């Protein structure tokens, strides 16, 4: 169907990444007639360049940890319910202090997480090497988080979309949103797309780093900016790394807002036998160039954790853009400036992990049913969302 009154949905979700897919699936479960549009291929943006982290370990007690714990539970539901598999692996995480300065903060974080009931265990050098036999011999303190998990992000998104379709949803790839249709009160009533105009009772902006541009099309604004990351992939090899393993400094790079590349080691294997090596975080706009110098730094950090990697071949490198926000909390909720426009973005590097509970929050908001966690910390108009410089938010 093309433009006209017939092409109408209860909800249009903009973005087919994991967040948009989870929103679509949750809304379809609630009986809503959903359309998902994506200007590119399905899950081809931020989701396609992520490791597939479903993490509780990297979050101190607070609203994001609450969202993460709700999500971890929901991912397990998805693994049991969805028709298509997506390499769900609840393998647990291991955090390693790579220098003396990292030991006290790690012990402190574990203590605070245990206070709120999170499964977290400090381990000594011998314990580390029982969990991960190939870790460098001089590493002496770490923490084990059995609740950390991993999914293959694109498979997870396509599995959510596939089941959303079975529940009546429609998905249109290579369909770009050009503008919004508003009713007399200014409320969102639809979107204009490259494939025609579509009526909608509500629109969910799940466009990740591009969410600011989508918000502006509706006459609103968001402080979401792109933050580039590099990811290295090795050739497949025999099981060598058994958990998601990262250095304790990783948590600091999450919140260091410099333009210089922040690099810390994140190492994990995938069911296909490859090992993923991260990570970097750089505020460089929509530039997705591979920086060979950053690649070499990531390789060096990864070899610091696992010296055996020196003899392993690097097969691929890719960069992705994560949706950064000033206060490092996802933005989930209705836009107070444009009613009927809902945002589900700003998850930075945690979008895969936080997608299910984000979808549940959007579902609860739109269907006016009880939310999985308190939605207030994630609301759109909160004070922590200072406006970002205009040039960085230009659409890439």
Partner 1 sequence: MDDLRVGDEDPRGLTRGAPVDVTFDGEPVVAFEGESVAAALLAADVRATRTTRRGGRPRGLFCGIGACHDCLVRVDGSGPVRACLTPVRDGMAVTSHVLGAGGPA
Partner 2 sequence: MSGDRVPLVVLGAGPAGVAAAVAAADAGVPVTLVDLGARAGGQYHRREPAPFTTARAGALHHGLDRFSDDVERLTRAPGFRHVTGAGVWGVQRLADGAVRLATDRPELPLLEADAVVLATGANERVVPFPGWDLPGVLTVGGAQALLKGQGMRPGRAVVVAGAGPLLLPVAAALARVRTHLVAVTDANDPRAWLTGSPRGLRPATVKEGAAHLAALTRRGVRVRPRTAAIAAHGDGRVEEVVLARLARDWTPVPGSERTVPADALATSHGFVPDVGLAVGLGCTLDTTEATAPAVAVDTLQATSVAGVWAAGELTGVGGARVAAHEGTVAGLAAARTLGGTVDDTTLERAVARRRADAPFLRTLARVLTVGDGWTTWLTPDTLLCRCEEVTVGTVDTAIARRDADDLRSIKLTTRCGMGHCQARMCAANVAGLLTARTGRPPADPGTLDRRPVAHPVRLGDL
Q: Which residues of this chain interact with partner 1, rule CB under 8 A?
A: 134, 235-240, 273, 308, 311-313
Distance CA 207, CA 383 (A): 22
Q: Is 260 in the site for partner 2 (CB under 8 A)?
A: no
Q: Find which of partner 2, partner 1, none residue 379 binds, CB within 5 to 8 Å per kind.
A: none
Between the CA atoms of 242, 243, 249 and 254, what dihedral angle is there, to the nearest 10 degrees? 130
In sign, the C-alpha dihedral spanning 361, 367, 371, 374 is: positive
Judged by CB under 8 A, the chain residues 149 through 168 that form the site for partner 2 are 154-155, 158-159, 161-162, 165
Minimum gap (Å) between residue 242 Cβ and partner 2: 19
CB within 8 Å of 99: residues ≥ 6 apart: none
Minimum gap (Å) between residue 274 Cβ and partner 1: 9
Distance CA 349, CA 281 (A): 9
In sign, the C-alpha dihedral spanning 155, 161, 165, 166 is: positive
Q: Is 310 in the site for partner 2 (CB under 8 A)?
A: yes
Distance CA 193, CA 186 (A): 19
Q: Find which of partner 2, partner 1, none residue 216 binds, CB within 5 to 8 Å per kind.
A: none
Cα 334 to its chain centre, rounded Å, is 20
Distance CA 249, CA 293 (A): 20
Backbone angles phi, psi at 198, to 5 degrees: -125, 130
Residue 179 or 273 having the CB closest to partner 1 = 273
* Tokens 């333009």, located at residue: 259
Distance CA 235, CA 312 (A): 7
Cβ count within 10 A of residue 316: 11
Cα 225 to its chain centre, rounded Å, is 14
Please identify, among the stretches 110-118, 191-199, 217-225, 286-294, the one whose residues bind partner 2 according to the rule CB under 8 A. Answer: 286-294
Q: Find which of partner 2, partner 1, none residue 273 binds, CB within 5 to 8 Å per kind.
A: partner 1
Q: Find which of partner 2, partner 1, none residue 389 binds, CB within 5 to 8 Å per kind.
A: none
Q: Find which of partner 1, partner 2, none residue 134 binds, CB within 5 to 8 Å per kind.
A: partner 1
Residue 122 or 314 having the CB closest to partner 1 = 314
Tell me how many residues contact partner 2 (CB under 8 A).
42
Q: Find which of partner 2, partner 1, none residue 299 binds, CB within 5 to 8 Å per kind.
A: partner 2
Q: What is the bridge-based pairing of β-strands 331-334 and 341-345? A: antiparallel
Q: Find which of partner 1, partner 2, none residue 290 binds, CB within 5 to 8 Å per kind.
A: partner 2
Q: Is 311 in the site for partner 2 (CB under 8 A)?
A: yes
The site for partner 2 (CB under 8 A) is made up of: 40-44, 48, 84, 154-155, 158-159, 161-162, 165, 171, 173-174, 234-235, 272, 277, 289-293, 295-296, 299-300, 302-303, 309-318
């Amino acid at each position: 169907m093309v433009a006209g009154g017939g092409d109408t949905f209860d909800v249009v979700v903009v973005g087919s990444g994991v967040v948009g897919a989870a929103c679509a699936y949750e809304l379809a479960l609630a009986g809503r007639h959903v359309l998902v549009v994506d200007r590119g291929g399905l899950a081809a943006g931020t989701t396609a360049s992520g490791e597939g982290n479903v993490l509780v370990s990297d979050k101190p007690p607070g609203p994001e940890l609450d969202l993460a714990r709700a999500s971890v539970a929901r991912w397990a539901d998805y693994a049991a319910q969805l028709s298509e598999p997506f390499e769900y692996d609840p393998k647990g995480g291991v955090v390693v202090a790579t220098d003396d300065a990292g030991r006290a903060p790690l012990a402190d974080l574990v203590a605070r997480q245990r206070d709120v009931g999170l499964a977290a265990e400090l381990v000594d050098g011998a314990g580390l090497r029982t969990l991960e036999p190939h870790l460098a011999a001089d590493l002496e303190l770490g923490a084990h988080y059995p609740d950390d998990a991993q999914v293959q992000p694109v498979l997870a998104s396509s599995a959510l979309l596939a089941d959303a379709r079975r529940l009546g949803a429609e998905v249109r790839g290579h369909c770009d949103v050009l503008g919004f249709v508003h009713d007399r009160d200014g409320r969102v009533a639809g979107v204009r797309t490259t494939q025609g105009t579509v009526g909608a009772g509500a629109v969910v902006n799940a466009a990740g780093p591009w969410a600011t541009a989508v918000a502006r099309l509706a006459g609103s604004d968001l402080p979401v900016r792109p933050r580039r990351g590099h990811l290295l992939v090795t050739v497949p090899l025999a099981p060598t790394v058994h958990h998601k393993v990262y250095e304790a400094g990783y948590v600091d790079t999450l919140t260091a807002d410099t333009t210089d590349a922040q690099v810390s080691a994140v190492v994990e294997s995938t069911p296909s036998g490859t090992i993923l090596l991260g990570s970097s975080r750089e505020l460089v706009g929509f530039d997705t160039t591979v920086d060979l110098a950053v690649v070499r730094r990531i390789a060096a950090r990864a070899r610091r954790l696992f010296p055996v990697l020196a003899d392993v071949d690097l097969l691929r490198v890719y960069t992705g853009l994560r949706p950064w926000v000033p206060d490092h909390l996802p933005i989930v909720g209705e836009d107070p400036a444009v009613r009927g426009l809902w945002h589900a973005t700003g998850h930075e590097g945690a979008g895969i992990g936080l997608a299910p509970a984000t979808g549940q929050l959007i579902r609860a908001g739109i269907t006016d049913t009880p939310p999985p966690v308190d939605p207030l910390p994630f609301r759109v108009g909160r004070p922590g969302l200072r406006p970002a410089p205009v040039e960085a938010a230009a659409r890439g």
